Structure 1
Amino acid sequence: MALKASSFSGIYTKFKPHLLMFLAQMGYTFLYFITEASFNHGMNPHVYITYRHIVSTILMFPFAYFLERKIRPKLTFALFWELSLLSFLGVSSTLNMYFASMRYTSPTFVASVVNTVAAVTFVIAVVIRLETLDLRSARGMAKILGTMVSLAGVTTMTLYKGTTLENSWHLLIHFQRNNTIHEHWLKGSILTVASSITFSLWFIMQAITLKRYPAPLSLTTWMSLLGAAQSAVFTVIIQHKPAAWSIGFNIDFWSTVYGGVVISGLVVFIQLWCTEKKGPVFVTMFNPLTTILVAVLAYFVLGEKLYLGSVIGAVTVIVGLYLLLWGKEADQEVDNKAEKQSCSTCSDEENGHKTNTENHSS
């Protein structure tokens, strides 16, 4: 019985980052729909981002303050500017472009394009040597092939429609859309691509900052606080109507609370933890799951059209994701073996040194 418990504990420990990232993608999936409903209701996306990160700051501060008192590094001037840049990349620039693009396109389109983040992050990580790539090994080829296959799947979902799949389901939610907003498709597409690039840079910088500031709860809190301040300044500059800042106890309120508590709080903390354990490429590899979940929910719950190209693309993305995950896991096993071998060699050398010292003494 104890052996079974130990075996289950080992499996859970091994796949804990995978499970957490799957739950994070579930969180992002619901975010697409609740924010679109809020924006269609009249909520300003930039005001939403500001309020959302204020909520996140209030939520995360007590946990960060009390739980990381002993491990939180001293905040220097240089570190503060680094945290400010991290907040600018992850909150001010990325999210403002991201949610503005959702107003001009659709949740399914935005979720599809954002999947390029995994490929862009992988390329940047390899260039700056955060990610190892051995083209002579099967694991290296699997990571390259997995990235290309996933990107091909995303491209298929984005560019190829094919025949429409009939929906005979009774709609669970009748979703009112503001079609006049979605007419600016080109503008929305440009904003989506730009936000994907800054999103990739944010994940890369997280991995770098965590080495100097290994306190994920505190880092999450700082990003929320600084991001809220930066977004507030940006919103005041472009939004001159005071009425835009007032929200009622309706979908606007609940979307703000959900975004602050679940996404900017819990999900960002999960991503930081997984980045520290597995690296930024591992975290971004799970983005395609959101695309699939958004497409499925939009089809069965909201009655959006689902095209054959989306199905083919989704299957292709899953195959690519599996290859990339296999390559990453194989890399980690090789690194673990090398580390054990290194420790064993060091131990043998120490024992040999002690033996020689004892012989010399005698």
Structure 2
Amino acid sequence: MEMVVDDDAAKIKAAGAAWRAPAAMVLVQLIITGLTLLSKVVISRGMFIFTLHAYRSAFGTIFILPYALFYERSVFLPAYTPCKSSLVPVCAPRGKWKEMNWRGSAWICLNSCIGYAVPSCLNYYGLRDTTSSYAVIFLNMIPLVTFILSLVLRMERLPLGTVTGSLKIVGVLLSIGGTMLVSFYKGKALHLWGSILQRHNEQVPVANHHLRGTIFLLGCTFTSACWYPIQSIVNKAYPHKYWSSMTTCFLGGLQTTLIGIILRRDRNTWKLGWDLQLLTIVYTGAFATAVRYNLESWVVAKRGPAYPPMFIPLITVFTAVLGSIFLGEAITVGSILGGATVITGLYVFLWGKSKESPE
């Protein structure tokens, strides 16, 4: 009898463990959805984009620091090597912070600009000129653009004439076609229900610069894809992910702060009050930066790097539904058709990726 109970308990425990990774990734997509909706509201109400990104980076740096101190203490706290030529038990410090050479510093600085600050600001500008449900469609393109960029840089190979290669090509072509469809065809606007957060006279302003916003979002997609090959080089030059991420966040925020001050020197632009702007910044730093990063890192360690992208399409669904409910955003037929095509292309691509034989 006790053996049966133990077997049942083991099965329940195993089932619970199997659901942890999917649940973590669903939570990540909800966090990104919340980030998108909050950012859309504060930007549409006039918040300066460089101010938003600068404070976001500052809070992100603060919230990542405890993880770096806890998980990578050896970087900050130097260890000591025994001195064989002396009776003294310890001698010269060998802290891993010394591993940060000029090469690693240069790549982290480049990554903070091209892979972090630029795509974030382009995404904010694209979000300002379009809708949240439209902007998140381009997130589905990032894995595909990353693959194309990796091919150009010869970091990835495309086995032509094989099932894997054919599926990847079909997936990329479908996603490109879906992006073109959603960019150039709107169709009928569907208002599923009224907003419950915004009053009728306080609706989030409707974007009037669809083409300009699309260009910003395409730029965001490309520069976001640049993050992955650059980050792979950073990991080799300085393999301490929390410290490198914190440094990237800090330097990216410093860059946007300097540019923002040049563009707008009015002190009121940089003031924060106890309002939705502060909530958005704290939420972005705590959840969309620190919590999201740690959840994704844990899932990659458990299931591999190909697992997290499978959940990206959920952001499109969550944002479309919640954006319609809370912000009263309309969903166009073009967005539905184009988004479905992009998502289909992503899954076809990931299907081909899953069929790769390990080297």
Bin the TM-score by the shorter chain. Answer: 0.7 to 0.9
Q: 1:97 to 1:57 in 2, by over 3 A?
A: same
Larger % of helix: which? Answer: 1
2:257 to 228, 232, 235: 232
Aligned partners of 1:109 and 1:158 also within 8 Å: no
Aligned partners of 1:40 and 1:177 also within 8 Å: no
Aligned partners of 1:57 and 1:224 also within 8 Å: yes
What SS does structure 1 have at the residue aligned with 2:260? Answer: helix
Deviates more, 1:20-29 or 1:231-240: 20-29
TM-score (structure 1 length as normaliser): 0.79
Q: Distance in 2 between matches of 1:143 and 1:211?
A: 27
Residue 19 (structure 1) shift: 5.4
**1:173 aligned partner, one-letter code:** L
- Residue 44 (1) aligns with residue 68 (2): no
RMSD in angstroms over aligned alpha carbons?
A: 3.0
Aligned partners of 1:220 and 1:265 also within 8 Å: no
**1:262 aligned partner, one-letter code:** F
Residues 203-257 of structure 1: CA deviation (Å, up to 9, x unaligned):
2212232233332222221111111111111111111111111011000100000
- Residue 250 (1) aligns with residue 254 (2): no
Matched residue pairs, number? 328
Match of residue 174 from structure 1: 198
Q: 1:83 to 1:272 in 2, by over 3 A?
A: farther
Match of residue 88 from structure 2: none
Q: Distance in 2 between matches of 1:102 and 1:48?
A: 13
Q: 1:37 to 1:215 in 2, by over 3 A?
A: same
**1:95 aligned partner, one-letter code:** S
**2:145 aligned partner, one-letter code:** V
Q: Distance in 2 between matches of 1:245 and 1:56?
A: 17
- Residue 130 (1) aligns with residue 134 (2): no
Residues 100-121 of structure 1: CA deviation (Å, up to 9, x unaligned):
2322332233223444323221
Match of residue 4 from structure 2: none
**1:248 aligned partner, one-letter code:** G
Q: Distance in 1 between matches of 2:203 and 2:42?
A: 10
2:68 to 60, 64, 68: 64
Residue 10 (structure 1) shift: 8.1
Q: 1:106 to 1:6 in 2, by over 3 A?
A: closer
Match of residue 330 from structure 2: 305
Residue 93 (structure 1) shift: 1.7
Residue 52 (structure 1) shift: 0.8
**2:327 aligned partner, one-letter code:** L
What SS does structure 1 have at the residue aligned with 2:219? Answer: helix
Residues 53-83 of structure 1: CA deviation (Å, up to 9, x unaligned):
1111111112202311247662112211211
What SS does structure 1 have at the residue aligned with 2:355? Answer: helix
Q: Distance in 1 between matches of 2:297 and 2:230?
A: 11
Q: 1:5 to 1:114 in 2, by over 3 A?
A: closer
Q: Distance in 1 between matches of 2:115 and 2:274?
A: 28
Match of residue 349 from structure 1: none
TM-score (structure 2 length as normaliser): 0.79
Q: Distance in 2 between matches of 1:172 and 1:228?
A: 34
Aligned partners of 1:60 and 1:221 also within 8 Å: yes
- Identity value in percent: 27
Match of residue 187 from structure 2: 162
Residue 35 (structure 1) shift: 1.0
Gaps in structure 1 of 5+ consecutive residues = 339-362
Gaps in structure 2 of 5+ consecutive residues = 1-6, 76-95
Mapping for residues 1-362 of structure 1, pairs under 5 Å: 1=7, 4=11, 8=15, 11=18, 16=21, 20-70=24-74, 74-165=99-190, 167=192, 169=193, 171-174=195-198, 176-177=202-203, 179=205, 182-271=207-296, 278-279=304-305, 286-331=311-356, 334-335=357-358
Aligned partners of 1:112 and 1:158 also within 8 Å: no
Match of residue 343 from structure 1: none
